Structure 1
Amino acid sequence: MPDIDLTRPHTLGRDGARRAADAVAARLKDEYRIRSEWSGDQLRVRGAGVKGELAVGEHDVRVTASLGLLARPFRNQLHREIERELDRALSHPA
């Protein structure tokens, strides 16, 4: 079971949601050195203490992430930050 699991609806279509996911991934890379790569409609992310994916659908996106032992105490903070970034990217796509 993932430590973080959230779903957000969108009206961007699959391609627009992919562009929004790329924008989020770029910020994560710059701020936290998180690597990402696409596998179909799933953007897989990996970094120090976190492993997860952002699955893009036509009408929603789902983020799941597993946290390492050192990151788990920050689960709530990370969850809020992911929500904020995702909401921002889906409402103001790049």
Structure 2
Amino acid sequence: ACRGAPTITDGGYQGTGLLIPHRKRRGQNHLTPQQEAENAVHRRARARVEHALSRLKNWKILRDCRLKGNGVHQAMLGIARLHNLALTG
């Protein structure tokens, strides 16, 4: 289902074809306003993913998950719902 979807990463994945933030090149003092705006969008998207993963680690739900068949899928749906509830407060 995720084939062909863009993958955003941090700057450690240069040269892999993944989406990384813009970086200043040697001798370049500033990024262009367009690059700064793209980096801001990149940061916001990555922050959401990182927060969701930290929530999963905090709840330790999947660590001992030994479900068979469709159980892991159902557990992930439940986790996503709990996470959305936690965000809305």
User: Larger relative CO (CA 8 A, sep 6+): 1 or 2?
Assistant: 1
| TM-score, normalization by structure 2 | 0.31
Answer with 1 or 2: which has the greater Rg. Answer: 2
